[in-house]
Amino acid sequence: MSGKAGQPPLPPWGNALAGATGAVIANALVYPLDIVKTRLQVQIKKKSDTAPLTTNDAHYTSTFHAIQKIMEDEGISGLYSGIHGSLIGVASTNFAYFYWYSTVRSLYLASQSLPKPPSTAIELSLGAAAGAIAQVFTIPVAVVTTRQQTQPKGDKKGLLDTGREVINSDDGYSGLWRGLKASLVLVVNPAITYGAYQRLRELLFPGKANLRPWESFFLGAASKALATIATQPLIVAKVGLQSRPPPAREGKHFKSFGEVMSYIIEHEGPLALFKGIVPQITKGILVQGLLMMTKERMEILFIVLFAYMRKIKAEKLQKIAEAAALKAKDVLPVDRAKQAMPALVK
């Protein structure tokens, strides 16, 4: 990514660190919405003549009802179940995404004979490529976090114990990559998000190097809302793949996101593919808005920090050069005197 006007660009790891920092701060602030949307998405409406179809004892009817019931049953700490694993996952996923996004975008721009902004299609492709690479490395944390968020009240486990449960109860270590196909398909979500962010920024704030916090928030929120609406059925299917199977399936895990979607449609109808969309969009808008707003500030901070570090390094090198020059100046007359000594003796 390019730097701010008149300033050197951040290296890929600098962009990645700024993005990961912003993502952790944003997700920590709205984490209860993440719990609620996950539990709403894994539950299936209970029918009077069947076994319970939800992984939770309580059946939630809305976002507010879910928050109320979780606090009644588990206390306020229930709204933060699995937060440590979630923030680790958020940090690693966003670091990997922004690192690879910066890398592939820089490589693309360097390959162009005439420097010009990528088209919308290219921007989406670059985002999808970066997202796919990031998912392969970070999906195990997402699987463990989803499992933690849907654990019943009396069966809460820590991050490592939940990871062992996934390995022992599923398909071995490959269980940690459950839902990878769905996750790879879902790379279109950040691709749409960041592609829309770039396009909206160029459209609404052309040529503006530094956005105000509210401008970054607005662009991030709008772009995330568009991406969430477009991909919600896949998001619901992915959560179903990574969580414990509903009791009615007697421990039988879903094998594909197509199977999850068919099961949901069979028991609840096609509109159920959009369940949990209210907290999903609310969380997405807040997180993306806060993320982009924080990331913009972090980028400026890192640019200033790197410029200061370069200045310190340059001053240090200059001092070393000056010391070497003084040493050479002092040594030179002595060498000449030594060379003249044999002539004087003769």
Angle formed by the axes of helices 31-42 and 120-149, to 10°?
80
Domain architecture of the chain: domains with CATH: 12-310 (1.50.40.10)
- Model pLDDT for residues 2-19, shown as the tens digit of each residue: 444 445 566 777 777 777
Q: How many CB atoms lie within 10 A of CB 81?
A: 24
The answer to whether residue 55 scores a pLDDT higher than 70 is no
What pLDDT score was predicted for residue 344? 46
Q: Which residue did the predictor score with more confidence, 299 or 274?
A: 274
pLDDT over 90 for what percent of the chain?
A: 0
Q: Which residue did the predictor score with more confidence, 112 or 42?
A: 42
What pLDDT score was predicted for residue 4? 45
Question: Quick one: average pLDDT of 178-207?
Answer: 80
The answer to whether residue 169 scores a pLDDT higher than 70 is yes
Please give the Cα distance from 315 to 321 (Å, whole number).
10
Q: Rounded to the nearest 5 degrees, what angle is found at the Cα of 186, between the Cα atoms of 184 and 188? A: 105
What pLDDT score was predicted for residue 98? 79
What pLDDT score was predicted for residue 46? 56
What pLDDT score was predicted for residue 337? 55
Q: In sequence order, which ranges of the chain are alpha helices (DSSP H)?
A: 12-29, 31-42, 63-74, 83-111, 120-149, 159-169, 180-185, 188-204, 213-242, 257-268, 277-345
What pLDDT score was predicted for residue 85? 81
Contact (CB, 8 A) for 9 and 93 = no
Q: Which residue did the predictor score with more confidence, 223 or 299?
A: 223
The answer to whether residue 49 scores a pLDDT higher than 60 is no
- Cα atoms found within 13 Å of the Cα of residue 225, Cβ hemisphere only: 11
- Model pLDDT for residues 152-165, shown as the tens digit of each residue: 776 777 778 888 88
Please give the Cα distance from 54 to 45 (Å, whole number).
7
For 338, left (φ over 0), alpha (ψ -120 to 50), or beta? alpha
- Model pLDDT for residues 113-140, shown as the tens digit of each residue: 766 777 767 777 777 788 788 888 788 8
pTM of the model: 0.61
The answer to whether residue 217 scores a pLDDT higher than 60 is yes
- The Cα-based distances of 187 to 126, 212, 285, 334 in angstroms read 11, 28, 17, 70
The answer to whether residue 181 scores a pLDDT higher than 70 is yes
Please give the Cα distance from 46 to 267 (Å, whole number).
9
